[in-house]
Structure 1
């Protein structure tokens, strides 16, 4: 795969609504098409050797969308896992859902818990959905936990390290793969939208003009190939540049 090994790939799946509008269809049709594309890209990422694929599915800010659209989005995990669970099991995919899951409707909560439970023993690609997730809220939660430890006297503020913060974020269970190597955002927009703000500190960023439902395996291969050739310095000086 070239110089850089892509272990953790993060994708902001953007453009479903505009994809539908361009076809004179309702926004929910775009979300359905986007849902179907998840399996395609997940299996393609698996073939490329990706260990963790994090997909931004629903943010803590998305509740402000029209009620009908939110209701549809809340039902998408039910439809997704009903349709694709056999394929996920066949391909040894492990499902992880990170976010504020207790705020989800019961039906949505139950299905995401079941998906994680049924795939818990799978050892292949980790398909990680960020659902009702927001990075600022995630970091705030970590700070509250550390603040509580200071109040109880178990640590002092001077003892807080970056590692301790990382250990209290929702990606902590990915171990050495907790921080994405590459972030791709579809639809031409170039912003992070409150996604993995701490974890993306040294990630490579890439942007596709395509709407998410049109983003295909060949597109992914192109971005991964480009990533493999990039010089990742992590703030240090590359001797070859001097």
Structure 2
């Protein structure tokens, strides 16, 4: 019998090859045909239900799911199995996979995740009360919370958007000023930079305006280290570099969002 680590390596290799292939296709602006998407979906569904999946394999699967799901949602191809799989995960894996998903989810896909307390699990990760605080889980919660905000902006759920904003900004303040984890915050913000870089091409005016303002709010938090302020600034810089204009700035949505909770 081969050791489990060896078997895991054998399983990871084709996933790494597929990840590389999808990256190459993405950078070449080549979309998968519907027939190919259905084949990939069938194989991914089989991978998702495996009981023995290493952390490395799960991260690779999450990246693959992220890349192919863009085409699924753009082509309006349903993927109920993915939504069901995500809600079955433990908190940490749910945050990881959701944080990797693109900002093109429809309400039908997002609804069961919200019904299974996705938002609560994000807040729980951002304000972890256990003595053994998990820095990685905080970063995953930050990514997932940021992604959820983008999804909710797309669905025009102003009330829930504000809840997400408040949770993220409050958590960053607590991490810096109470937990003294400025370096962890910087690590998390750099992940948001990566997220913005991959998603900004699909942003419309309201997503642009919102992300820009959120980055400014974080940058202005008292106690933030200089390097961490630079990371917050990078969010805005990358946003400006990759944003293609969308449908024009939807300042009315953002102003309405701010007006709901000002004064």
TM-score by length of 2: 0.32
When you count helix as a share of all residues, which structure comes out higher? Answer: 2
TM-score by length of 1: 0.34
When you count strand as a share of all residues, which structure comes out higher? Answer: 1
Instruction: Specify which structure has the bigger relative contact order, considering alpha-carbon pairs within 8 angstroms and separated by 6 or more residues.
Output: 1
